[in-house]
Amino acid sequence: MGVTTNTKATVAAELADVLPKDNRPWYTKPHLLKLNLIILSLVMFSSSNGYDGSLMNGLQALPGWHTFMNNPTGAWLGFINAIYWLGNGVSFPVAAWVANKYGRKPGVYIGYVFLVLGVTLQTAAQNEVTFVLARMFLGAASAWFGNAVPLLINEIAYPTHRGICNALFMCGWYVGSIVAAWVTFGTRNYANSWGWRIPSLLQCLIPLITLPGFLLASESPRWLISMGRTDEAAKIIAKYHTAGDMDAPLATYEIIEIETTLKTEQEAHASTSYMDMVKTKGNRRRLFISITLGVFGQWSGNGVVSYYLALVLETIGITSVTHQTLVSGCLQIWNLIFAVGAAFSVDKLGRRMLFLASAATMLVSYIIVTALSATFAKSGTASVGMAVVPFLFIFFAGYDIALTPLLTAYPCEIWPYRLRSRGLTVTWVSTVLAIFFNTFVNPIALEAIGWRYYLVFVVVLVFFGLTAYFFYPETRGHTLEQMAIIFDGDDAEVPPPAETRERTASIATARRASLAAEKPATTYINEVKV
């Protein structure tokens, strides 16, 4: 989104040839400004997960919440956190099926139903059972948002903005976490239960604010074409990508590429299932990436801090409720800054560079955090405990430059259309399983062995760096349809770029010859056979 529409440095030559030749920034073009404002609204749907993580961190620092929940510790505390992700994980496969059959938007409406139900139950909870049940419904809401919205962003974004828009989705996580952290900080001294009920109620705030932007969003043109509704898709692409000009070379190129690729996929595969993910070498590599990315996204040590910051701070001598909630609030702002900065760098620096820099930064900082925590445990020196805090911030800067923006962005772009929703689901389910394990085990391990538990994540970070180096390819400069060339090579189920370019030229010639007939763009596309 921070580039002009004639950027050629990070896109394939075939796409660059059909981009507008003017040098006007995108924000001076009303159609692109409207589209990107809609996408900015969609990005905020990831705030639900971020709000929950920060909310539970804050609530664990509030004496009133502990009293209401009968002072949960160990396995029970882990279950209270993990139940959110149980609702999340169970909902993802269903959400993927709905996204493929009924479109990208219907699942979001279902998510709103679960959101309202969960917020109402949690805010009005009269006992711990109701509170826990509400968390499961809130997890289900996030699943419906988390599956449908990234797909929609990828499939409606302007071609040269797609990488950045895609990466920005998970940055909304920190918007939610910032709101939750500071709301909890503001209610920390309430003497009654509203100290935790107000933060619970405001969990619906950001999704409700984003509702108008979602209502303005179109359905995915790629889904429409897959359903045989090419005319509708062409109008949407023209409206948002070429200011309504259906005869523009870019609009023609996009429709041809999408239509031809989807037709090739449909001819090669009469039906699609999760088993298709293991049938080819390229898909097996995609599957490996989707699973490992979900696991590394939660087993890099961030899970300990995301849900149990209060416990971590207590191990280094920071026990004040005010100090704990203040550190949490500042950390979320820090996270948002680095995540957004990385999202805007995905096309300039590349995905591999961000992955490798992330692994190195997290590894070094986590080793230092472990060493300082061990020293504090032996000496009890306050200055040593406080020294852990800046390295926690450095650790999260490393996490934010890759595992935040690319957690959903990378799987969304590497899978072909017919498996995209399922591929994203695999990443989310892997993430949920890792989170469920972490949120259940982390408090037990922290209570039992303290700082020594950090050594597990040091080892995981080494494996993350090696995996990214050997298995995560660079994907910048490719459209969604041409991404298959990276993974499948000669077996890629996409038309050669030259063929798409030639067909676009043929349509342009036909259009000029029949200009007086005023045929719509899709008519020319259908006349020039694949």
3-state secondary structure 38-106: HHHHHHHHHHHHHHHHHHHHHHCCCHHHHHHCCCCCHHHHHHHHHHHHHHHHHHHHHHHHHHHHHCCCH
- Per-block average pLDDT, block size 10, for the chain (530 residues)? 45 77 89 96 89 80 88 82 87 94 95 96 93 94 94 95 94 88 84 90 92 95 94 95 91 90 80 88 96 93 63 68 75 90 94 97 89 75 76 91 95 93 94 80 74 83 96 90 85 64 62 55 51
**Beta-carbon contacts of residue 102 (< 8 Å; ≥ 6 apart):** none
**Beta-carbon contacts of residue 473 (< 8 Å; ≥ 6 apart):** 352, 486, 487
Of 286, 296, 290, 336, whose CA–CA distance to 435 is shortest?
296
Report yes or no: 154 and 412 within 8 Å, Cβ to Cβ: yes
In angstroms, the first-to-last Cα distance of the chain is 32
- What does the radius of gyration of the chain's CA atoms come to, in whole angstroms? 24
User: CA-to-CA distance for 309 and 321, rounded, in angstroms?
Assistant: 12
User: CA-to-CA distance for 508 and 77, rounded, in angstroms?
Assistant: 64
Residue intervals of the chain classified under CATH 1.20.1250.20 are 13-19+26-217+269-490
Of 54, 334, 308, whose CA–CA distance to 177 is shortest?
54
DSSP alpha helix (H) spans, 193-280: 194-201, 205-216, 221-226, 230-241, 249-268
Which residues pair with residue 495 across a beta bridge?
Answer: none
Report yes or no: 144 and 110 within 8 Å, Cβ to Cβ: yes
Q: What is the pLDDT of residue 2?
A: 43
Q: Which CATH architecture has domain 13-19+26-217+269-490?
A: Up-down Bundle (1.20)
Q: What is the pLDDT of residue 7?
A: 47
DSSP alpha helix (H) spans, 472-496: 484-488
CA 254 to chain CA centroid, Å, is: 24
In the DSSP assignment, the letter for residue 451 is G
Report yes or no: 274 and 424 within 8 Å, Cβ to Cβ: no
